């Protein structure tokens, strides 16, 4: 690749172009060339992963956006092709570019039919997910957001299990309904912006400065979070997840759990909360409450599952509850922990789905009652599984502990007006019980699968992990320990953006709660100028303070 | 970097490196004995470094070294550090841990000889990892790193209890131990959160105020109750005896279970600020001491006797720390580590010879196993607190501390426990080692040198560690003075009386029957009331409540979603009829609408 291109201002476009180009190449390859199709698609994905390392060349300590690209797309509606990456999206981009090739790689042999379409679906999925993570324009984001559904719908519906159509339709309708309300809210927001500013804009960085009346904020916020809460998924909108996971092929489950669920939380963090700070402060504790319900409820539901994949799916509900809790704590520790835990959940749950897929491929069943005593015949498999299970429990030394601990600290210290107020401590107490229940259901699973005598003849001659499976799992194992032992590598690059986000949110909330003009729509002139002068401002709180001052 | 830091790093990371190598290189691990010897080598290097470190510390008793690096960043600075803290307390514990661990590993070379090579390698991998985890805890400069080690030793305990994982009872015991301790560990986790919130760090030397200190220490104590098997969270320890006997000696008697006590010693500056917590500790500790001692009197499995005895002795330490006698608690931890590891290894030597844990299968072993009998007598007498042996000095210190702090009733309870201790140890001695030679013991013989050497090595401190009490006290910056008064005499007298009663009841070859007064207790112990309570809780929470949640999720939450989907579909079917494709219908609707709207307009 041309080195000058890597240093160019179009790095993010290039990142989006690689999977698109891969899809284009795959499209014109003969479908019988299964091996070549697999190699090509994984090759493009690995190149993409390599390319994402050039994102590290920027200095993220200013907390702002980097590699920003802005090109007007549909000028009359104020829609632009606006990309940028900051410390918050940086690691999520990495998560995507790492997990996608792994997910495709683990399905190397289990997917035998329509290999070409399968590879195409994954390349498109990667493009859509990356696009959603780097979009700074609401229209562009929405396009990518919806684009994700299509390949995933086919991955579940075509290569899934026996009830794949039911699961795929459920997944599609569920997420679609949520997104449509968000679209309505976006359009409403843009219309209002036109009225006060005189021009249309879908640009997040411009819309952020809009002063929105309290009541309207609540409605718009609710419309946004419905879409995101379904994606996360938060209790009680989670029931599509166990069905989707059990029916999806292993690769689909991995991407779904590891990356797509993160987009829900990312949506809160990037769009819903900065756009509607008053509403999000008002409703945040309630969402956190649902997060806590999800933590305990998901753990209990996981405990009684008979199917290993369902157990992992419900454990996701529990873990995502933790992340939501940390996010709405609105303390630096809480949000940093939530962001780190997003990575952790991606790594650990991705690995768990791969591991469940391993025994499914060998026995074509995932029922606990069909296993037992596997530690004897599959020692490597047992070692990997136990490590990932311990990371999921949050054992110190693994990644799970760092995120969970920071979230607990963040929740406990969230006792100011912005945050949980008096509820922070109560929330911490309940969330901590989730740690115990995680140990209960995870070790229960380990006990059932690995320990005790071998009770089924078919298990006596199971092959241990193959080279390909080890190769797919090793990077994830490495990350489990890397994040667990030296989280600074990751936190150092992300925490400034997060801290700015928290300070910005707090400042904006403090300024606007006293502001009487909040009953009206408006754009503070100072902010409008700031936007005009600097199309990609760092999230400097001073701009916001000016904005609030100008409105008064 | 100074010498002590380097020594500590060697002690810490040699076993860690060995564990990692053995874990990652299966061909090496599966060789069995070579892997075992490598692990012993790592343990001996670690022991050597610890001895040097300890000797160095003896030369500089007031030295307090701290070396740390940033671990968790926050806002350009550190939220938490990791590192090493070397002072008299950690240097002493490091020596205890590595010495016992070394002895246990050497002992295991012979004891585990008949295991398949791959399993033997796995066993020693866990052991190497244990030394690292335990030293990580011992040398921690702050509470967060201590928690790291705390959880890792819990993990090793889980893996080693479940070493015979094909045996369902062992697998269950391992999971039970992990769950109970994990439940308790949440206390430590929350304590960390509270400590950080109030002091901005994880230092135990901070002063967050009496109220906060009470909350923190209570939370810490919950974790201690789990790890150090205090009533009512002790239930996992007897079951943990499912693990191999050397494991019981190292983890579940000498070191890991004592980590709770060590935690209190280490964080004493916090506990000193929390009077209420200390009062709770006195009572729970004393109660555990008596309660476990009573149960130990009715056990017939030699390992179970020792397990309950461990509970009971940990109760002594906790009570002592509650009464403010740090020296008593910590010194008893040290002496207990030696004599209890000795007792467990001696019991292992017996089990190895007779292939049974039941005391009724033993008897007259003196005739076949002289060395084992001698060291078992030393261990028992030391544990019972007969004057002159290590246990006497530390137990005396505890009892004195209780009286000095005005805890008369707990003092009486501990005195009673001292009597019971001598009684149950006498019962084991007289039934297992003396009297008629039993059928199974006919072919008993001592193990190889690998088993005999550790017994001798541990018997020495079990005999004589008491005489160094004042030296240790100086190193720990604590006060020690031996008072030979009437109260001290009372405890020793009761201990001798305990042995005497045991001799009268079992000394003449009587079978291991339960004494009549203790029968109701035996019944109660056998029924396992507390175990059944927890099991009930597990059933209610696990099978009923979680089952209900599973059902609720499947049929109510998901059912409602499916219902709304169904309603939407049905509504769609109904509405579809409106779109009949018949132009006349549409015209009619349009005409009607125009009429209705104009009527509405006019009327308004």
One pLDDT digit (tens) per residue for chain A, 552 residues: 444 444 557 899 999 999 999 999 988 988 888 888 888 999 999 999 999 999 998 888 888 899 999 888 888 888 999 999 999 999 999 999 999 999 988 887 788 888 888 999 999 999 999 999 999 999 999 999 999 999 999 999 888 888 888 888 888 888 888 888 899 999 999 888 888 888 888 998 888 888 888 888 889 999 999 999 988 888 888 888 888 888 889 899 999 999 999 999 999 999 999 988 888 888 989 999 999 999 998 888 888 888 899 999 999 999 999 999 999 999 999 999 999 999 999 999 999 999 999 988 888 888 888 888 888 888 889 999 999 999 999 999 999 999 999 999 999 988 888 888 888 889 999 999 888 889 889 988 998 888 888 888 888 888 888 888 999 999 999 999 999 999 999 998 998 999 989 988 888 888 777 665 555 566 655 454 444 444 443 443 333 333 333 333
Please tell me which of the candidates A297, A433, A453 has its beta carbon nearest to residue B549.
A297
CB B163, CB B247: distance < 8 Å = yes
Q: Do A451 and B165 touch (CB under 8 A)?
A: yes
For chain A, helix (H) and strand (E) counts, in that order, are 24, 2
CA dist., res. A49 & res. A45, Å (int): 6
CA dist., res. A362 & res. A323, Å (int): 34
Q: Do B558 and A396 touch (CB under 8 A)?
A: no
Burial category of A169 from C-beta neighbours within 10 Å (exposed 0-12, middle 13-18, buried 19 and up)? middle
Predicted pLDDT of residue B594: 84
**What contacts 24+ positions apart, CB below 8 Å, involve B143-147?**
B143/B188, B143/B191, B143/B192, B143/B195, B143/B202, B143/B203, B143/B204, B143/B267, B144/B80, B144/B82, B144/B192, B144/B202, B145/B81, B145/B82, B145/B83, B145/B202, B146/B263, B146/B266, B147/A396, B147/B185, B147/B188, B147/B189, B147/B192
A383 touches chain B (CB under 8 A): yes
CA dist., res. B382 & res. B338, Å (int): 10
Query: What is the residue extent of each domain of chain A?
Result: 276-497, 522-549
Q: How far is B551 from chain A (nearest CA, A)?
A: 9
Predicted pLDDT of residue B510: 61
* Residues of chain B positioned with their CB less than 8 A from the CB of A443: 158, 175, 178-179
Which ipTM score applies to this complex? 0.86
> Rounded to 5 degrees, what are φ and ψ at B297?
-70, -20
SS (H, E, C) B415-443: HHHHHHHHHHHHHHHHHHHCCCCCCHHHH
* Residues of chain A positioned with their CB less than 8 A from the CB of B152: 395-397
Predicted pLDDT of residue B514: 65
CA dist., res. A54 & res. A5, Å (int): 11
Please tell me which of the candidates A380, A452, A492 has its beta carbon nearest to residue B168.
A452
Give yes or no for a cis peptide into B188 (omega within 30° of 0): no
Q: Do A297 and B565 touch (CB under 8 A)?
A: no
Lowest mean pLDDT among A299-303, B133-137, B214-218: A299-303
Q: How far is A468 from chain B (nearest CA, A)?
A: 18
Q: Which residues of B25-54 are buried (b: 16+ CB within 10 A; e: fewer)?
A: eeeebbbbeebbebbbebbebbbbbbbbbb
Predicted pLDDT of residue B484: 65
Predicted pLDDT of residue B11: 92
Assigned token pair, A86? 């900051």
Please report the residues numbered 267 through 306 in chain A whose beta carbons come closer than 8 angstroms to any beta carbon of chain B: 297, 300-301, 303-305
* Contacting residues for B101 by C-beta, under 8 A, at least 6 apart: B43, B46, B47, B127, B130, B131, B134, B250, B255
CA dist., res. A249 & res. A158, Å (int): 9
A387 touches chain B (CB under 8 A): no
Phi-psi region of B179 (alpha: psi -120 to 50; beta: other; left: phi over 0): alpha
CA dist., res. B295 & res. B521, Å (int): 7
Please tell me which of the candidates A170, A303, A397 has its beta carbon nearest to residue B546.
A303
A450 touches chain B (CB under 8 A): yes
CB A88, CB A239: distance < 8 Å = no
Mutate to test the interface with A, among B27, B116, B549 (most CBs of A within 10 A): B549
CA dist., res. B566 & res. B570, Å (int): 6
C-alpha pair distances (Å), A314 with each of A304, A320, B192, B444:
10, 10, 28, 54
Mutate to test the interface with B, among A300, A313, A318, A388 (most CBs of B within 10 A): A300
Which of these, A90, A177, A185, lies nearest to A130 by C-alpha position? A90
* Residues of chain A positioned with their CB less than 8 A from the CB of B115: none
Q: Which residues of B87-114 are buried (b: 16+ CB within 10 A; e: fewer)?
A: bbbbbbbbbbbbbbbbbbbbbbbbbbbe
Q: Do B171 and A486 touch (CB under 8 A)?
A: no
CB B332, CB B473: distance < 8 Å = no
- Mean predicted confidence (pLDDT) in B479-489: 70
CA dist., res. A223 & res. B153, Å (int): 48
Predicted pLDDT of residue B512: 60
Predicted pLDDT of residue B18: 92
Please report the residues numbered 396 through 435 in chain A whose beta carbons come closer than 8 angstroms to any beta carbon of chain B: 396-397, 401-402, 405-406, 408-409, 412-413, 428-429, 432-433, 435
Mutate to test the interface with B, among A294, A375, A405 (most CBs of B within 10 A): A405
Cβ neighbours, 10 Å, residue A424:
23
Please tell me which of the candidates A239, A393, A413 has its beta carbon nearest to residue B558.
A239
Please report the residues numbered 493 through 522 in chain A whose beta carbons come closer than 8 angstroms to any beta carbon of chain B: 495, 499
Mean pLDDT for chain B overall: 86
Write the DSSP string, B564-598. Answer: HHHHHHHHHHHHHTT----HHHHHHHHHHHHHHHH
* Residues of chain A positioned with their CB less than 8 A from the CB of B193: 405, 408-409, 412, 428
> pTM above 0.80?
yes
* Residues of chain B positioned with their CB less than 8 A from the CB of A332: 74-75
Between B88-111 and B117-138, two packed helices, what is the crossing angle to 10 degrees? 170
Which of these, A476, A493, A362, A489, lies nearest to A101 by C-alpha position? A476
Mapped onto helix, strand or coil, the DSSP state of residue A137 is: strand
* Of B361 and B217, the one with more pLDDT: B217
> Rounded to 5 degrees, what are φ and ψ at B386?
-75, 135
């Amino acid at each position: 690749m041309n080195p000058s291109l890597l240093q160019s201002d179009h790095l993010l476009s290039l990142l989006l172009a690689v999977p698109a180009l891969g899809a284009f190449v795959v499209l014109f390859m003969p479908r019988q060339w299964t091996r070549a199709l697999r190699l090509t698609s994984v090759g493009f994905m690995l190149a993409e992963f390599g390319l994402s390392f050039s994102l590290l060349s920027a200095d993220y300590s200013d907390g702002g956006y980097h590699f920003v690209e802005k090109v007007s797309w549909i000028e009359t509606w104020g829609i632009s092709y606006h990309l940028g990456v900051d410390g918050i999206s940086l690691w999520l981009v990495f998560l995507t570019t790492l997990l996608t090739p792994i997910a495709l790689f683990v399905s190397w042999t289990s997917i035998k039919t329509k290999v070409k379409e399968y590879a195409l679906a994954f390349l498109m999925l990667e493009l859509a997910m990356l696009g959603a993570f780097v979009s700074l324009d609401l229209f562009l984001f929405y396009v990518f957001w919806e684009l994700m559904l299509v390949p995933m719908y086919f991955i579940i519906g075509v290569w899934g299990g026996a009830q794949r159509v039911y699961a795929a339709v459920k997944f599609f309708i569920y997420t679609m309904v949520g997104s449509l309300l968000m679209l309505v809210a976006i359009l409403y927001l843009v219309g209002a912006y036109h009225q006060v500013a005189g021009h249309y804009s879908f640009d997040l960085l411009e819309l952020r400065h809009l002063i929105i009346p309290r009541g309207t904020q609540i409605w718009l916020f609710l419309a946004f979070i419905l879409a995101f809460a379904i994606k996360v998924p938060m209790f009680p909108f989670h029931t599509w997840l166990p069905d989707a996971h059990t029916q999806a092929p292993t690769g689909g489950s991995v991407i779904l759990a590891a990356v797509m669920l993160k987009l829900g939380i990312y949506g809160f963090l990037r769009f819903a909360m900065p756009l509607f700070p008053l509403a999000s402060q008002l409703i945040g504790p309630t969402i956190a409450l649902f997060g806590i319900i999800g933590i305990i409820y998901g753990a209990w539901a996981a405990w009684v599952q008979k199917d290993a994949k369902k157990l992992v799916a419900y454990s996701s509900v529990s873990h995502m509850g933790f992340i939501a809790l940390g996010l709405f704590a609105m303390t630096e520790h809480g949000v940093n922990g939530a962001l780190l835990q997003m990575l952790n959940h991606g790594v650990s749950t991705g690995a768990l789905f791969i591991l469940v897929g391993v025994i499914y491929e060998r026995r074509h069943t995932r029922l606990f009652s069909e296993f037992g005593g596997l530690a004897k015949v599959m020692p490597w498999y047992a070692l990997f599984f136990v490590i990932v299970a311990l990371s999921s429990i949050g054992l110190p030394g693994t990644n799970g502990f760092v995120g969970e601990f920071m979230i607990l600290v963040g929740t406990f210290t969230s006792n100011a007006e912005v945050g949980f107020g008096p509820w922070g401590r109560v929330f911490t107490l309940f969330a901590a019980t989730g740690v115990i229940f995680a140990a209960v259901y995870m070790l229960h699973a380990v006990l059932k699968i690995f320990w005790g005598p071998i009770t089924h003849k078919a298990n006596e001659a199971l092959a241990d992990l193959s080279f390909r499976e080890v190769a797919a799992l090793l990077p994830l194992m490495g990350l489990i320990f890397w994040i667990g032992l030296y989280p600074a590598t990751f936190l150092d690059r992300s925490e400034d953006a997060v801290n700015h986000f928290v300070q910005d949110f707090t400042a904006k909330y403090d300024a606007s709660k006293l502001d009487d003009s909040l009953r009206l729509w408006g754009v503070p002139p100072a902010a409008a100028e700031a936007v005009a002068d600097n199309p990609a401002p760092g999230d400097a709180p001073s701009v916001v303070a000016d904005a609030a001052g100008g409105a008064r | 970097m100074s010498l002590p830091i380097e020594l500590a790093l060697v002690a810490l990371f040699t076993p860690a490196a060995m564990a990692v190598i053995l874990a990652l290189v299966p061909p090496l691990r599966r060789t069995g004995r070579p892997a075992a010897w490598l692990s012993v080598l790592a343990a001996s290097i670690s022991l050597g470094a610890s001895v040097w470190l300890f000797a160095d510390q003896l030369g500089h008793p007031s030295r307090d070294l701290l070396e740390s690096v940033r671990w968790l960043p926050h806002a350009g600075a550190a939220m938490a550090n990791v590192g090493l803290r070397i002072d008299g307390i950690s240097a002493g514990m490091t020596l205890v841990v590595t010495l016992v661990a070394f002895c246990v590993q050497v002992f295991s070379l012979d004891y585990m000889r008949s295991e398949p090579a791959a399993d033997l390698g796995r066993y020693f991998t866990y052991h190497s990892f244990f030394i690292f985890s335990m030293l990580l805890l011992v040398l921690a400069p702050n509470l967060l790193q201590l928690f790291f080690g705390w959880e890792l030793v819990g993990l090793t305990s889980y893996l080693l209890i479940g070493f015979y994982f094909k045996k369902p009872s062992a697998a269950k015991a391992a999971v039970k131990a992990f769950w109970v301790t994990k439940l308790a560990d949440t206390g430590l986790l929350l304590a960390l959160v509270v400590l950080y919130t109030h002091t901005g760090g994880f230092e135990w030397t901070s002063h967050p105020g009496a109220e906060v200190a009470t909350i923190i220490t209570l939370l810490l104590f919950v974790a201690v109750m789990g790890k150090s098997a205090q009533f009512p969270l002790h239930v996992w320890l007897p079951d943990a005896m499912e693990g191999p006997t050397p494991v019981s000696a190292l983890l579940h008697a000498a070191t890991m279970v004592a980590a709770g006590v060590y935690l209190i010693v280490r964080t004493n500056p916090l506990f000193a600020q929390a009077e209420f917590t200390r009062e709770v500790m006195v009572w729970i500790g004393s109660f555990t001491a008596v309660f476990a001692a009573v149960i130990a009197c009715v056990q017939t499995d030699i390992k179970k006797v020792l397990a309950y005895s461990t509970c009971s002795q940990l109760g002594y330490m906790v009570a002592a720390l509650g009464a403010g006698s740090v020296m008593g608690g910590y010194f008893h931890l040290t002496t207990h580590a030696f004599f209890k590891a000795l007792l467990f290894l001696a019991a292992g030597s017996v089990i190895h010879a007779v292939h049974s844990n039941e005391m009724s299968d033993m008897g007259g072993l003196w005739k076949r196993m002289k060395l084992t009998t001698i060291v078992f007598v030393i261990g028992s007498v030391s544990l019972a607190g007969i004057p002159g042996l290590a246990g006497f000095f530390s137990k005396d210190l505890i009892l004195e501390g209780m009286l000095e702090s005005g805890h008369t009733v707990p003092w009486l309870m501990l005195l009673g426990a001292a009597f019971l201790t001598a009684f149950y140890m006498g019962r084991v001695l007289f039934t297992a080692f003396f009297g008629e030679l039993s059928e199974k013991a006919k072919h008993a013989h001592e193990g190889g040198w690998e088993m005999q050497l550790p017994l001798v090595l541990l018997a020495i401190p079990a005999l004589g560690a008491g005489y160094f009490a004042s030296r240790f006290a100086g190193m720990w910056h604590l006060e020690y003075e031996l008072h030979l008064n009437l109260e001290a005499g009372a405890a020793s007298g009761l201990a001798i009386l305990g042995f005497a009663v045991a001799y009268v009841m079992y000394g003449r070859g009587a079978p291991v029957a339960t004494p009549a007064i203790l029968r109701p207790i035996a019944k109660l112990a056998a029924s396992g009331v507390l175990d059944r309570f927890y099991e009930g809780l597990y059933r209610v929470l696990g099978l009923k409540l979680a089952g209900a949640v599973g059902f609720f999720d499947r049929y109510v939450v998901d059912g409602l979603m499916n219902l709304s989907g169904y309603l939407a579909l049905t509504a769609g079917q109904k509405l579809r009829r409106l779109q009949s494709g018949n132009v006349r219908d549409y015209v009619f609707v349009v005409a009607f609408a125009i009429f209705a709207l104009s009527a509405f307009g006019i009327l308004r």
